[in-house]
Amino acid sequence: MQTISRVLQEGKENGILVRTGQYKSFRPKLLLLLGLFLAVLVTIFIISVSTINSTGLHSVVTTVTSTFVPCREDEPNSLGKWIQPPTVLMHNMTDEELLWRASLWPRRKGYPFKRVPKIAFMFLTKGPLPLASLWERFLKGHKGLYSVYVHPDPSFNAKFPADSVFYKRQIPSQVAEWGRMTMCDAEKRLLANALLDISNEWFVLVSESCIPLYNFTTIYTYLSQSKHSFIGAVDDPGPFGRGRYNDNMEPEVPITKWRKGPQWFELDRDLAATIVKDALYHHKFREFCRPACYSDEHYFPTMLTIEKPTALANRSVTWTDWSRGGPHPATFGRSDITEEFFGKIFDGENCSYNGRNTSMCYLFARKFAPSALEPLLHIAPKIMGF
């Protein structure tokens, strides 16, 4: 009673009118509400116990979950969210975000879904693709077995028709300078974007001047049955090999692991992911490999020699003619496209494939000028099989 009196007194002091009769009538209503609340709780408890006894606790949880948290293929808790390739290649991720995202790849062997492995053809270009129609013919009829990615100069906007294999296949790009680390960054950007499609298993780097030397089925079989990835990694003791080495590369990059190789490569998914996640060697090459040290000839061969040496075939599958000398290989135009010319490529040398000697060493070739397109389209069915 003292408490109630104190409340009434405080109410009076604050200008609030509280009558004793009103307080007395409020108390039964409060008790009634409490009773109703307890009755509802008891009813819910009885229904829950009955349901569990008849169907089991798991069924109750499943029913509640399926009612309030529907699982669809487009939601984050669905496997489909992870196995579907990006529908749009243009995105707003920074390079750091892209490389981080692409570095998240499955560690467990095997896939819990039907997976058809694909070849990712990655075009590193300055701008237009003058030989696009040859590649169109090469890829025709093989949808679902390949992906296409184009990294041009950022000022270039490709305009291909909707039925083209190059339609909307341009990725966010940045300037790539020959001989500098920005060229390797562009290649990593291509690899990272291609890794976002979990079905891509083999990654082929080509330029706008490259052509395929065989039909798609032959190349797909060659890559899919190979036990190695194709990237050159040579220990050159001369001025254009070890002569470009900088002692500041130590200790992460010892001179005994310093390698040189062609820029154009083919890698499997494991090696592609190894390149994309790298930050340690990238820092060393950015700081200490500058012209006359050319990163695109040394970074990947050296890093993979250190990290995954047994996975390398130690040769490229892209033919290039350096016989004319100079810093750039020979370029071939209309007059060069003959059966004799391709005969020299096909029969030029022997190499090792899965531990056996073979004369089939090259799957692609470069450099071909735009003027070579017409004779290439004419000779392709007979010479290249497409």
Per-residue model confidence (pLDDT) at position 40: 66
C-alpha closest to that of 145 among 228, 229, 221: 221
Within a domain: residue 291?
Answer: yes
Burial zone of 191 (CB within 10 Å; 0-12 exposed, 13-18 middle, 19+ buried): buried
- 211 domain residue, yes or no: yes
Q: What is the pLDDT of residue 206?
A: 98
What is the per-residue pLDDT for 77?
66
Local structure of 208: helix, strand or coil? coil
* Containing structural domain, residue 225: 89-106+114-316
Measured in degrees and rounded to the nearest 5, phi and psi for residue 319 equal -80, 135
pTM of the model: 0.79
Question: Residue 22 falls within a domain, yes or no?
Answer: no
Torsion of CA 279, 243, 366, 188, to 10 degrees: 0
| pLDDT score, position 78 | 73
Cα–Cα distances (Å) from 19 to 14, 15, 163, 332, in that order, read 14, 13, 84, 105
Counted domains in the chain:
1
For residues 208 and 123, the answer to whether their CB atoms sit within 8 Å is yes
**pLDDT for residue 27:** 59
pLDDT tens, per residue, the chain with 386 residues: 444 344 334 444 444 334 344 444 445 666 666 677 676 666 666 665 554 454 443 333 333 233 333 334 455 567 777 788 888 999 999 999 999 999 987 777 888 999 999 999 999 999 999 999 999 999 999 999 999 999 999 999 888 999 999 999 999 999 999 889 999 999 999 999 999 999 999 999 999 999 999 999 999 999 999 999 999 999 999 999 999 999 999 999 999 999 999 999 999 999 999 999 999 999 999 999 999 999 999 999 999 999 999 999 999 999 999 988 777 899 999 999 999 999 999 987 899 999 999 999 999 999 999 999 999 999 999 999 99
CA distances from 379 to 43, 141, 345, 373 (A): 84, 20, 15, 10
The region, left, alpha or beta by phi > 0 then psi within -120 to 50, assigned to residue 280 is alpha
- Give every CB contact of residue 39 below 8 A, 6+ residues apart in sequence: none
Q: What is the pLDDT of residue 64?
A: 29
Residue type, 243: G
Give the Cα separation of 224 and 266 in Å (integer): 11
Whether 297 maps to a domain, the answer reads: yes
Please give the pLDDT value at position 87.
85
pLDDT at 68: 30
Q: How far is CA 205 from CA 159, 262, 371, in A?
A: 21, 11, 22
> Cβ(119)–Cβ(204) under 8 Å?
yes
Helix boundaries (H) for the chain: 2-13, 20-55, 57-68, 80-83, 95-102, 132-139, 181-195, 216-224, 269-277, 280-288, 295-307, 339-346, 373-383
Residue 254 lies in a domain: yes
d(CA 82, CA 76): 8
Nearest to 147 by CA among 218, 198, 109: 198
Q: What is the CATH number of the domain that holds 136?
A: 3.90.550
pLDDT score at 17: 38
367 assigned to some structural domain: no
| Phi, psi for residue 151 in degrees, rounded to 5 | -115, 95
Is 76 contained in some domain? no
52: in domain: no
